């Protein structure tokens, strides 16, 4: 750049003036050539032409983005082709479909005559695409079951449901395209908007379609009432006497073990009932593991309100005396 400036600085004013005249003449000649060329006919090019697929939007809904352009090869005047190439004052070609849910494509060969008319004064040489594909479904209304979403850490540690989950309304009407409704599989799960719940739950929650389907679906109900009761499971332990059964005379337990520690979880509402039971650690020889001469500890009785029952020790070794 510095060299170029230096050379121009060495030119006298007359030479610079002559250079400017030459440049203007070149520009004028080029412009004249371009304008003259654009006035000629019989140019051929490929352009992206706008299209619009139209149908009854009260009855049908696209579930994928509709195509809005199609490649066409056209022939004609340079000015007209230039206007179409740069998408100036384009009028979309309308494709009307009466029942788009029954077919997901249209053959472009069916459109050539009408397409040729809208391209005038240019001539349609060919439509590059063989087909125009789309995905449009019929809009229907279905009843869907409402469920509470309990997949996360809904309840606090050692807490359980103490009642059925009450949902009102249990069924709601939902409107949308058939393929989207099929993905829901007849169920809409409602997040409880809480984690580690440790007390009775009673809330009115907003009903919303899953985020990925929100643009397609309409729910007739705005909210749902969900409630349920919670109970706490308390930790407890007991020392149990050992009760061996079905033992042969020459078999005994190895080691000096006279009691077993049982730990468990119990519904807080059932604690008083523990006083009605006399628990014992049953060691049943008939249930032994013959391969390693061990036997697992069992408790008797075993009421249903005890959970997560564990023993210490859990497995005992058998000792065989010589007959």
Instruction: Report how far Cα 2 is from the mean position of its chain's Cα atoms.
Output: 61
Between 9 and 128, residue with greater pLDDT: 128
Q: Cβ–Cβ contacts within 10 Å for residue 267, how many?
A: 17
* % of the chain exceeding 70 in pLDDT: 80
Task: Determine which of 41-45, 103-107, 182-186, 204-208 has the lowest per-residue pLDDT on average.
Answer: 41-45
Say if pTM beats, i.e. exceeds, 0.85: no
Quick check: 75 and 44 in contact, CB under 8 A? yes
How many Cα atoms occupy the beta-carbon half-sphere of 36 within 13 Å? 6
pLDDT for the residue 32: 41
Mean pLDDT over the full length of the chain: 83
What CATH number matches the domain at 234-320, 3.40.50.1000, 2.40.10.220, 2.170.120.30, 3.20.20.70? 2.170.120.30
Q: Which CATH superfamily is domain 138-228 in?
A: YbbR-like domain (2.170.120.40)
Per-residue pLDDT tens for 57-116?
999 999 999 999 888 777 766 555 556 555 656 778 898 998 898 888 989 888 888 877
Parallel, antiparallel or unpaired: strands 136-149 and 105-107:
unpaired
pLDDT > 50? residue 34: no
pLDDT for the residue 40: 47
Between 70 and 262, residue with greater pLDDT: 262
The two tokens of residue 194 are 């809480």
pLDDT for the residue 47: 77
Helix, strand, coil distribution of the chain in percent, nearest 5: 25, 45, 35
């Amino acid at each position: 750049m510095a060299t170029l400036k230096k050379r121009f600085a060495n030119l006298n004013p007359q030479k610079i003036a002559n250079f400017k005249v030459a440049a203007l003449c070149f520009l004028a000649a080029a412009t004249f050539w371009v304008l003259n060329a654009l006035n000629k006919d019989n140019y051929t090019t490929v352009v992206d032409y706008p299209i619009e697929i139209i149908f009854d939007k009260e009855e049908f809904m696209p579930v994928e983005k509709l195509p809005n352009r199609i490649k066409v090869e056209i022939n004609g005047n340079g000015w007209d082709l230039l206007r179409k190439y740069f998408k100036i004052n384009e009028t979309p070609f309308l494709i009307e479909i009466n029942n788009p849910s029954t077919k997901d494509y249209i053959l472009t060969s069916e459109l050539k005559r009408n397409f040729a008319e809208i391209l005038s004064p240019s001539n349609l040489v060919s439509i590059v695409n063989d087909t125009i594909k789309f995905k449009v479904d019929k809009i229907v209304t279905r009843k869907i079951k409402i469920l509470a979403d309990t997949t996360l850490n809904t309840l606090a540690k050692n807490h359980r449901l103490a009642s059925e989950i009450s949902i009102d309304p249990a069924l709601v009407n939902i409107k949308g395209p058939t393929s989207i409704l099929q993905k829901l599989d007849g169920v809409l799960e409602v997040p409880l908007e809480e984690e580690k719940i440790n007390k009775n739950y009673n809330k009115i929650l907003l009903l919303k379609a899953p985020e990925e389907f929100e643009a397609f679906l309409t729910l007739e109900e705005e909210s749902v009432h969900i409630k349920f009761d919670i109970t706490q499971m308390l930790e407890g332990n007991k020392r149990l006497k050992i009760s061996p059964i079905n033992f042969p005379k020459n078999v005994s337990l190895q080691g000096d073990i006279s009691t077993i520690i049982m730990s468990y979880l119990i519904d807080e509402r059932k604690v008083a009932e523990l006083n009605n039971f006399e628990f014992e650690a049953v060691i049943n020889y008939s249930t032994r593991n013959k391969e390693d001469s061990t036997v697992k500890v069992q408790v008797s009785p075993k009421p249903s309100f005890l959970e997560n029952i564990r023993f210490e020790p859990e497995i005992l070794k058998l000792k065989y005396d010589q007959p």
